[in-house]
Amino acid sequence: MSYRKETFRVVSVLDPAIDTERMTQAQMKEYFETRDEAKIAPFIKPGAKPTWFHIREIPRRLCSGFVGTPDAHFVRNERAFMAAVTRIQNLHQEDGSVMAEFEPSRQHDVIPEEVLEERGISEAEIQEVGAVAWTHSFLARRMRRSYPVPLICLEVLAARDFLPAESSPSSQATSSGEASSASQAALSETANTTAPSADSSASPTAATATATPSEVAA
């Protein structure tokens, strides 16, 4: 659990710069629930450049209008990303180059969809970071929160190799294959308990109208 900061940065749990083979599934879970970068720092591959997304608190007029109105989590997460991300470090391009710093242009205080497409930001990153941004902004500052991860991200993460959980001296040795299967099962279980149900797809505002950035700005 963690209290809300005004701004902070996150790296996607799927970022290839994270060496999951040197961490346990529990350590990854601790990172994505808290988004404390100190918990992921020891597992960044030497010389690798993870993509960091800098997040601000979504302005109230966007949180209750542009972001909070869609019924589907998919749309809400995308809009939260567009409203919350202010800067991106180490943005990897299709040609293999890396933009050390990228401050996306904004229209009516949100990032236009065409900018996301032009820069090749993946839908997985948009959904994951957007979900973090929404939770970060929606709850009161004094409330503790556990940051969610979209189901599709957890399913992809479950296919990666992790260290086996620390065993007690009395426990039997576990093969790497068995450890990997156990890790994947644990992440899948987390996905099942974290992912929203179809009935809970409505935003907390319970609004159903759809607003555009220009309508909110007006």
DSSP string of 124-180?
HHHHHHHHHHHHHHHS-TTS-B-----HHHHHHHTTS--BPPPPPTTSPP--HHHHH
Which of 160, 139, 150 shows the shortest CA–CA distance to 195?
A: 150
User: pLDDT tens-digit profile of 52-88?
Assistant: 999 999 988 898 788 877 778 899 999 999 999 999 9
pLDDT at residue 189, rounded to an integer: 59
Residues of the chain predicted below pLDDT 50: 1-2, 167-181, 183, 191-210, 212-218
Mean pLDDT of the chain: 80
What residues have CB less than 8 Å from 86, skipping those under 6 apart? 7, 54, 55, 56, 103
CA distances, 200 to each of 150, 192, 197, 208 (Å)? 14, 14, 5, 13
Distance, in Å, from the CA atom of 31 to the CA atom of 10, rounded to the nearest integer, reads 10
* Contact (CB, 8 A) for 77 and 68: no
pLDDT of 121-138, one tens digit each? 999 999 999 999 999 888
- Tell me the pTM: 0.75
Buried b (16+ CB within 10 A) or exposed e, 82-93: bbbbebbbbbbe
